[in-house]
Amino acid sequence: MASDNFIDHVKVNCFSGNGGAGSVHFRREKFVPRGGPDGGDGGRGGHIILKGNKQLWTLLHMRYKRHIKAPHGEPGGGQGKTGADGEDIIIEVPLGTIAKNDETGEVMLEITEDGEEKILLEGGKGGLGNTHFKNSVNQAPRYAQPGIPGMEARVVLELKLLADVGLVGFPNAGKSTLLSVLSAAKPKIANYAFTTLKPNLGMVFYRDMRSFVMADIPGIIEGAHKGKGLGLRFLRHIERNSLLLFLVSAESDSISNEYHTLLKELEKYNPELLDKPRLLVISKADLIDDEIKGWIKGELPEELPHLFISSVAHQGLQELKDKIWELLHQE
């Protein structure tokens, strides 16, 4: 996924179609000079619909669509003819897309399954024709209902990546390197902070043709929950991950402190993230000996599962995949 093409936040002005007006019409046939009312109903206005597409990974195709308008319903006609419905506008979006009202912040809907369709804005109903208003007192009503206006909203579309495993760590912890080694993803890798400016997804193949999806989330820094660094823009992608993999470099001054700092940032952003299964992975383990590993283990919480790996030296990678699979499928 090219970083320049990853768009996960767009704003769109949406307008559903107006309902068509009901018809005021009377039956006119030879030898029937005073036929009764036969005005048809107006057609429904077009809906704005979101549809999930598993082939999409970004909202790039929505980047320059500032206004989306559905057609109006057609008015009713004589002889009880109902007007045609306005055509629905279907917007395909990646799985994990949330639609919010830009003014209120209210979540309108979310799309999580391939082929799933949900109405974002309903089209207005068509008005009733004058045939509906005939009664014993008024045999020839000369009025009908107008169509109901469509809906209008400024909508924010946000993408929260759907991945099994989310890589959490400070900049330059080795997340991109790990993803590139475990999968076919080719994220940008360099020896400086914030190399990753966009989330990257990779499919990791496991034993017996099984697989899981791993997401490399741009590095977190202290204060990220307040928007510092890359901040809130990418913290939301962690919300949809089933397992959080905390990656800390063996070069860190205090692995325990770094892990707890990351944990604190997630808690301040969304306390529910702490309910997810966690795995601590110490990267660049080829740079330390067994004595230092023993000392590191001593300062880590006993209940926290942890592993030592080296992406460059390919150490502990199969054990890592085994542990991830175990945690993903535990009850």
pLDDT of residue 177: 87
Final residue belonging to a domain, choices 100, 130, 159: 159
Same domain, 1 and 100: yes
Residues 324, 331: Cα–Cα separation, whole Å: 14
Domain that holds residue 8: 1-159
Chain segment 205-241, per-residue pLDDT in tens: 998 889 888 888 776 645 444 444 444 566 777 787 8
**Tokens read off for 88:** 């629905």
**Tokens read off for 84:** 């045609």
Same domain, 138 and 188: no
Instruction: Look at residue 34 and tell me whether its pLDDT is greater than 80.
Output: no
CATH number of domain containing 294: 3.40.50.300
Same domain, 205 and 310: yes
Same domain, 139 and 245: no
Higher pLDDT, 180 or 124: 124
* Nearest to 217, CA basis, from 187, 191, 183, 254: 187
> Confidence band (pLDDT; 50, 70, 90) for 183?
confident
Q: Residues 273-301: what's their mean pLDDT?
A: 90
This prediction's pTM = 0.69
Higher pLDDT, 174 or 74: 74
Q: How many domains does the chain have?
A: 2
Instruction: Look at residue 301 and tell me whether its pLDDT is greater than 60.
Output: yes
Alpha-carbon distances, residue 89 vs 17, 152, 226, 331 (angstroms): 10, 14, 37, 41
CATH number of domain containing 50: 2.70.210.12
